Structure 1
Amino acid sequence: MSVPTLSNKPETVDLLVLAPGEKKVTCTISDKGDCNIFVIKLEDHTIGNLIKIQLCQDPKVLFAAYRQPHPLQNAIEITIKPKGYAGVKLLSDNVNNILSQVATLKENFAVIQNK
């Protein structure tokens, strides 16, 4: 008995490596002009949810959400509706905040391991 193959399954390399000249992050403005929509390639729900939660805690953000447009596409869309601030700066600041929290967590684990 033969095993069926998935004809629409993406190639593994397409899930891990950007094509030459392809950007990791792109930003567009919503049709109404009040939201920034960021597409982050080669990421999934893990990063999307982490960034969304961080953005929702920021008082400069009215609304934040993420979605994965299609399960076979390794990209997420993050939508931000800022309170009069630049969406790109808000995303950058919040990602940097996440990175500092992860660095602190890593340091705390190192301290615990060395005890």
Structure 2
Amino acid sequence: MNAPDRFELFILPDGTPKVQNAAIVTFEKEDHTLGNLIRAQLLKDPRVVFAAYKVEHPLFAKFVMRIQTEDGYAPKEALKKACYSLMNQITALENKFRDEWSIATMAQDGESTSRGY
């Protein structure tokens, strides 16, 4: 067949300018759940130009994320900021859940004592 090898489609010819402020990060033992969360959080940052991920094979828990940022803003910093923001959001969600759970538990305890259980 006359088609070039697939790997040649991804190799930049000599002299091609490299993309500035771009990084490719591999996440081992993770899947779409974390990939989509981080991607969505990165895209909320106005200084992130591009963020996407792909799962290379559905049988392996591993994904690759590409991040591109504006000049003067490192992709590593964008990723750290996104992860810290996600951890804060998850902690807030956990606290709200615990508060609601304790209110619901107190309400159930009040009902069971008033019925004489």
Same fold (TM over 0.5): yes
Which structure is higher in helix share? 2
Distance in 1 between the 2:29 and 2:63 partners? 8
CA RMSD of aligned residues (A): 1.1
Pairing 1:33–2:19 present = yes
Higher relative contact order (CA 8 A, sep 6+): 2
Query: What residue is the counterpart of 2:7 in the other structure?
Result: none
Structure 2 residue identity aligned to 1:33:
V
TM-score normalised to the size of structure 1? 0.70
Question: Matched residue of 1:43: which SS?
Answer: coil
Structure 2 residue identity aligned to 1:79:
R
Q: CA deviation at 1:98?
A: 0.1
Greater Rg over alpha carbons, structure: 2
Q: CA deviation at 1:73?
A: 2.3
Q: Structure 2 unaligned segments of length 5 or more: list them.
A: 1-11, 13-17, 104-117
Pairing 1:79–2:66 present = yes
Q: CA deviation at 1:76?
A: 0.6
Distance in 1 between the 2:46 and 2:53 partners? 18
* One of 71, 89, 112 as aligned partner of 2:77: 89
Q: CA deviation at 1:72?
A: 2.2
Structure 2 residue identity aligned to 1:50:
L
Q: CA deviation at 1:37?
A: 0.6
Q: CA deviation at 1:61?
A: 0.2
TM-score normalised to the size of structure 2? 0.69
Query: What residue is the counterpart of 2:99 in the other structure?
Result: 111
Q: Which ranges of 4 or more aligned residues in structure 1 deviate by more than 6 Å?
A: none
Distance in 1 between the 2:85 and 2:91 partners? 10
Query: What residue is the counterpart of 1:98 in the other structure?
Result: 86
Distance in 2 between the 1:73 and 1:113 partners? 36
Between the aligned residues of both structures, percent identity stands at: 34
